[in-house]
Amino acid sequence: GNSVTQMEGPVTLSEEAFLTINCTYTATGYPSLFWYVQYPGEGLQLLLKATKADDKGSNKGFEATYRKETTSFHLEKGSVQVSDSAVYFCALSDRVGDAGNNRKLIWGLGTSLAVNP
């Protein structure tokens, strides 16, 4: 079945450092890909998404490009801040049921990021 593999954490960086969190996937067809973020004590929030090959999702300085040839969707940010400390989840959409456009999410294990001042 479809799956997501995410680099293990925790990742610890100094403020203004460059961030990369690797994510690769296994899927049949052409799923949409997502990065969700979970700040301490809060619920999961969609950070960015890409729905087809070569799409680049971006938000709050984070970027990820849907690479079909390498089945990857790595998350990057050029200069992290303390406020970016959170757990980041890579996910893909998978079909629910037999037909239609109903989707469920298949998730990676999450990568914890700690940014020190």
**Pair 117, 15: CB distance under 8 Å:** yes
The token duo for 115 is 């940014």
Q: Identify which range of 12-20, 60-68, 70-78, 98-106 contacts other proteins by CB under 8 A.
A: 98-106
- Residue 112 has a CB neighbour count (10 Å cut-off) of 14
Cα gap 92→105, rounded to integer Å: 6
Nearer to other proteins (CB atom), residue 42 or residue 69: 42
Return the residue of 86, 106, 113, 115 that touches other proteins, per CB under 8 A: 106
What is the total count of residues that contact other proteins (CB under 8 A)?
25
Q: Which residues bind other proteins (CB under 8 A)?
A: 4, 6, 32, 42-46, 49, 51, 89, 91, 93, 96-97, 101-110
